[in-house]
Amino acid sequence: MNSDRVTRRAILLGSLALTASGCTSAQRLSEPIFSAFGGGPSSRYRRRDVVYDGGEPPGTIVVDTTERYLYLVEGGGRAIRYGVAVGEDGRTLKGPASIGRKAEWPSWTPTESMMERKPHLRQYAGGVSGGKHNPLGAAALYLYRGGQDTMFRLHGTNEPWTIGQAVSSGCVRLTNEDIVDLYNRTPVGAKVLVI
């Protein structure tokens, strides 16, 4: 019981220290990004340049939900591979999509179905502004089909230790460093294939 108080107190004091130091959601993507809670993904999920033998054209994003990797196809038999977290219970979107919109430090509001499955999310029904405390992390790429927002995203996370797991409500999570890298390489209109 005493250790719980120390942990809560440390988190509260750490949050106050961040606020007092001037850290705000106005942080630009060119600045270094660190998780407020530490811990990162296993080394197998770190970004790498890899051999890629798929038939997709350069610039296509391929998400392999089983292996928990996202590939940005570069052509010439190469791709940049990023570790990802995917939707729990098969909730991740499947099939083709495209990047319909991009946002830095996006705001987040849980959907009604998310709040039904996880009632504790109702406390965020009014939305969460962008910033280090936001579950969408440093950036988001919005997945569209037929010109319509699917409500699925490729986005950063304030929980980098979840990379490699099936834990989200359907979106594909990358570390903040990786979503910034992907964001800077990916234009609106880029094709996405989720398998």
Q: What pLDDT, on a 0 to 100 scale, did the predictor assign at position 81?
A: 98
Whose tokens are 């499955």? That residue is 117
Q: Domain range holding 97?
A: 25-194
Judge residue 54's burial from the number of C-beta atoms within 10 Å of its C-beta, 0-12 exposed, 13-18 middle, 19 or more buried. Answer: middle
Q: Is the pLDDT of residue 31 over 50?
A: no
Residue 25 · residue 131 · CB < 8 Å: yes
Examine residue 3 and state whether it is found in any structural domain, yes or no: no
Mean pLDDT value of segment 49-61? 96
The yes-or-no answer on residue 155 being catalytic is yes
DSSP state of 108: B
Examine residue 14 and state whether it is found in any structural domain, yes or no: no
Examine residue 61 and state whether it is found in any structural domain, yes or no: yes
Examine residue 8 and state whether it is found in any structural domain, yes or no: no
Q: What pLDDT, on a 0 to 100 scale, did the predictor assign at position 39?
A: 62
CATH number at residue 113: 2.40.440.10
Mean pLDDT value of segment 97-104? 98
Examine residue 110 and state whether it is found in any structural domain, yes or no: yes
- Total domains, the chain: 1
- Grade residue 89 by pLDDT with cuts at 50, 70 and 90: confident
Examine residue 19 and state whether it is found in any structural domain, yes or no: no
- Contacts (Cβ under 8 Å, ≥6 apart) of 181: 47, 80, 82
Angstrom distance (rounded) from CA 105 to CA 85: 19
Q: What pLDDT, on a 0 to 100 scale, did the predictor assign at position 29?
A: 52
Q: Is the pLDDT of residue 193 over 80?
A: yes
Provide the terminal-to-terminal Cα distance of the chain, rounded to the nearest Å: 45
Examine residue 91 and state whether it is found in any structural domain, yes or no: yes
Active-site pick, 23, 120, 133, 171: 171
Examine residue 93 and state whether it is found in any structural domain, yes or no: yes
* Backbone φ, ψ for residue 12 (5° rounding): -60, -50
